[in-house]
Amino acid sequence: MRRLPILLLLLPGPLFADEVFLKGAGSISGRIVEQTETMVTVDIGGGVMGVPLSKVERIVKARSPLDDFDDRAAKLGHQDTAGWRELGRWASQQGLTTQSRQAYEKVIALSPDDAEAREALGFVRLDGRWVTEEEGYRAKGYVKYEGEWMTAAEANMRQQNEAAEHARQDAEQRAREAETQKMVEDNRTAKAAERAAEEKAKADREARWGQPVYWGSWGYGVTGWPSPPVVNPAPIYTP
C-alpha cells in the first residue's frame, strides 16, 4: 500500500505514450500497456518489453507515433486500400515495423497484386506470381548459408575457405603445443642432468674420505686411516 501513491503519480488516468527513464541507463520510448507494483510493460512499436519498476527513475508522458498510428487507422475504412497503403508507408518511416506490416497486410487482403505492399512484406515476383523471398531464392537455385542467400558454388567456396582457415589455426595450435612440450622436456632433462652431477660430486667426496692418509715422522710412510692398533710386546722376565 505504501507504493500506491507512486503508482498513481506515474499512471494518472488512461495509458498513453510514455518516455520511461531508467536509472543510469537512458530511456525507452513507447506506450505503457501494463504496469504492476514490480514491472512496467512498454509497447515500443516493434515489440513489447518489460522493465522492472526498480530500474525506473521516472516516467514522462508524451505522445508517440504509436498513438498517431492508432488515430490514423481508426479513421480509415475497411475498404480504403490507398489509405492503408499510405499508413503502412508512414509507419515504416517511423520505425513501427509491426504496425507497418499490419497496414500492408490489410492492403493485400483488399488488393492481392499490390506491388508496394507485397514488396514491403518481403514477397518477390517470380514467373508472374508473388512468392516469399525464400521461395524466390530457392527457385533460382540459391542456398542459405550462415544466414545469407548465395549460389551453391559460393557456399562451397566459403566452406572450403573456412575449412582451410580452421586447418591453419589447428596447425598453429599444434605447433605452439609442441614448442611448449619441448620446453618442458628440455627443462626436465636439464634438471635431471643437474641432479646426476650433484650425485656424482657427492659420491666423489665420499670416496675421497676412504683414501690412505700420509703421516710424517722421522720419515714418511704410508698408513691407513684409522691407524692399526699398537700391540704391546710381552714383558721380559728378569729373575
Same domain, yes or no: 186 and 156: yes
Specify if 136 maps to a domain. Answer: no
Where b means 16+ CB within 10 Å and e means fewer, 169-199 reads eeeeeeeeeeeeeeeeeeeeeeeeeeeeeee
Average pLDDT of the segment spanning 197-218: 73
DSSP string, 173-214: HHHHHHHHHHHHHHHHHHHHHHHHHHHHHHHHHHHHHTS-EE
Domain limit, last residue, from 84, 109, 130: 130
What pLDDT score was predicted for residue 13? 35
Q: Say if residue 220's pLDDT is above 70.
A: no
On whether residue 155 sits in a domain, the answer given is yes
Q: Which domain holds residue 99?
A: 67-130
Residue 239 resides in a domain = no
What mean pLDDT comes out for the span 77-97? Answer: 93
Instruction: Give the pLDDT of residue 237.
Output: 58
Percent of the chain with pLDDT over 90: 30
Q: Is residue 233 part of a domain?
A: no
Alpha-carbon distance of 44 to 226, in angstroms, equals 104
- Do residues 9 and 59 both lie within one domain? yes
Boundary-marking domain end, from 182, 198, 214: 198
Distance separating alpha carbons of residues 176 and 28, to the nearest angstrom: 49
Tell me, yes or no, whether 109 lies in a domain. Answer: yes
Higher pLDDT among residues 64 and 197, named by residue? 197
The model scores a pTM over 0.85: no
Does some domain include residue 159?
yes
Instruction: Tell which of 95, 130, 165 closes a domain.
Output: 130
Name the residue with higher pLDDT: 35 or 132.
132
